[in-house]
Structure 1
Amino acid sequence: MSPSSSYRQLADVYDHLMADAPYDQWMQFAAEVWRLTGTAPHRVAELGCGTGSLTRYLLERKLEVWGVDLSADMLEVAREKVERSHPGAPVHWLNQDIRRLSLPGQMDSIVSFCDTLNYIPDAEGIRQVFAGVFEALKPGGTFLFDVHTPYKIAEVFGNESFCYQDEQVAYIWQSSYDEYTETVEHDLTLFVAERDGLFRRFHELHRQRAYRLDDLRDWLVEAGFTLLSLTADFSSQAVEEESERAFFAAQKP
């Protein structure tokens, strides 16, 4: 299904707003884990691939990539973008809920960055993801992902308001934190410039759940993984009380 013209514009705005996202650092994290484990992957699945920005970094490393996302529209945008930048590249797009992951054959590595797992609403869903990833990996395969920490969900997003404006887009972003469910709701109103100089209004509502890092570690072990490392904020340092992003590297024995 092709996205509507309005969705195409919204997707373009997403890439515009994410232009400074550290995709190169996510790629460096993965590459370093692969180097340290000596796994040298060829077949890699990317869960929550969105519009394919990180996918292009994976393709630069001559990998065969399976891009998985819940949104068929996002996958269509990713497909068009990757075809422009890497025509004929070995990439396969799968429209799936990652809690019910189904990949063709076993993967050398599976990655899920940009806090994709924070969008899973409950512990059972996380366990389903971990079990599906474990099943999809070959022995020795690696699973690499990051999450927003509970500190960032509660204290950085919390009950805060954010705003932004440039020549192409403006937004008002209101976050509301529920202490009981440890969930933050992002209420985002976007104003996107049209060719006629007027602005079109879009509304987005997103929810992200905080997960305790000890729980995530336990659920990885429960699924059968060996935890290789747990680090903070694109570094090799341990996660501290005010770390905002936690990086997990796990391996299937």
Structure 2
Amino acid sequence: MEDMPYADWLGFARAAWSRYGMPSTVVDLGCGTGSLAIPLARSGFQVYGIDLSSDMLSVARSKWDETPQQAVRSRAGTIRWLQQDMREWELGEPVDAVISFCDCLNYLTEEADIEAALRRTYLALKPGGSFLFDMHPPSQLLRYAEEQPFVLDERDIAYIWTCELEEARCQIEHHLTIFARDAGSLPFNRFEETHTQRAYDPDWIANALRKAGFRTVDRFADFELKPASASSERLFFAAVK
């Protein structure tokens, strides 16, 4: 994940908030290890990091605990970590904004699950609050299937990454075999991972947002406030309650 464009996601969020309203309270839905939630808190936002994975949240808490707290306190930023399912999440108090980046919603592989996540997010927002998220379009999953396998070969880590696409559902399985060792020691440890994602018609996603109650639904692409095209690798949605 070291090459993931976290700064670009944060830049997109700030640009979108400049257009739709700058928040004070932000939920990072599918926060993973906190690579977006932590810098948001460092810069003064009140952040809730929500993820289904207890392992990811454990890493996120450790990273936050290592943050120089004096610098954080001077900006009054905070984080509360919560283990919840994005289809059923709730806080008990409304927030100004929700983000869900790094194609988290593509991991929901049934339309009913997408609709449930959108409804829960709508209910959790204050009137005028914004929901920003990105998704891989169907064309990107097709590119993965056509261009695989992917290989990484470095001194202390290597992987083989293959993909299987179910075209009828536009659903893909990413199979990774990872070999890693600590600080050049031997032997390598081998890990197996499978990630399943589904891509949805962008018009269906936009309609599902409106069905959930959002009054404004805009679409952008590739980390910029610009219209999407057939070559776009990543779609961004901005929905306002």
Q: Considering the TM-score relative to the shorter chain, is it more than 0.5?
A: yes
Residue aligned with 1:99, SS: coil
Partner residue, 1:8 = none
Q: 1:112-131, aligned counterparts within 5 Å?
A: 112-131=100-119
Q: Cα distance, 1:228 vs. partner?
A: 4.3
Distance in 2 between residues matched to 1:118 and 1:151, nearest whole Å: 13
Q: Does residue 237 of the first structure (1) align with residue 237 of the second (2)?
A: no
Q: Does residue 77 of the first structure (1) align with residue 66 of the second (2)?
A: no
Maintained 8 Å contact 1:159/1:177:
no
Partner residue, 2:179 = 191
Normalization by structure 2: what TM-score?
0.93
Worse-superposed segment, 211-220 or 232-241: 232-241
Residue aligned with 1:128, SS: helix
Q: 1:30-45, aligned counterparts within 5 Å?
A: 30-37=13-20, 39-45=21-27
Q: Deviations over 1:126-148 (max 9, x none)?
A: 00000000000000100000001
Distance 1:191 1:241, change over 3 A: same
Worse-superposed segment, 227-236 or 74-83: 227-236
Distance 1:65 1:241, change over 3 A: same
Q: Does residue 250 of the first structure (1) align with residue 211 of the second (2)?
A: no
Q: Does residue 175 of the first structure (1) align with residue 151 of the second (2)?
A: no
Q: Cα distance, 1:212 vs. partner?
A: 0.6
Distance in 2 between residues matched to 1:228 and 1:131, nearest whole Å: 14
Q: Does residue 139 of the first structure (1) align with residue 127 of the second (2)?
A: yes
Maintained 8 Å contact 2:176/2:194:
yes
Which amino acid is the alignment partner of residue 133 of structure 2? F
From 212, 215, 229, the equivalent of 1:223 is: 212
Distance in 2 between residues matched to 1:180 and 1:205, nearest whole Å: 20
Q: Deviations over 1:206-251 (max 9, x none)?
A: 1000111000000000001023421111122211112110000110
Partner residue, 1:21 = 4
Distance in 1 between residues matched to 2:3 and 2:148, nearest whole Å: 22
Distance in 1 between residues matched to 2:155 and 2:201, nearest whole Å: 39
Q: 5+ unaligned residues in a row in structure 1: which ranges?
A: 1-17
Partner residue, 1:56 = 38
Normalization by structure 1: what TM-score?
0.89
Worse-superposed segment, 18-27 or 190-199: 190-199
Which amino acid is the alignment partner of residue 32 of structure 1? A
What is the total number of aligned residue pairs between the two structures?
234
Distance in 2 between residues matched to 1:158 and 1:208, nearest whole Å: 16
Residue aligned with 1:181, SS: coil
Which amino acid is the alignment partner of residue 134 of structure 1? Y
Which amino acid is the alignment partner of residue 52 of structure 1? G
Q: Cα distance, 1:59 vs. partner?
A: 1.3
Partner residue, 1:7 = none
Maintained 8 Å contact 1:148/1:246:
yes
Q: Does residue 92 of the first structure (1) align with residue 83 of the second (2)?
A: no
Maintained 8 Å contact 1:161/1:173:
yes
- Sequence identity percentage: 40
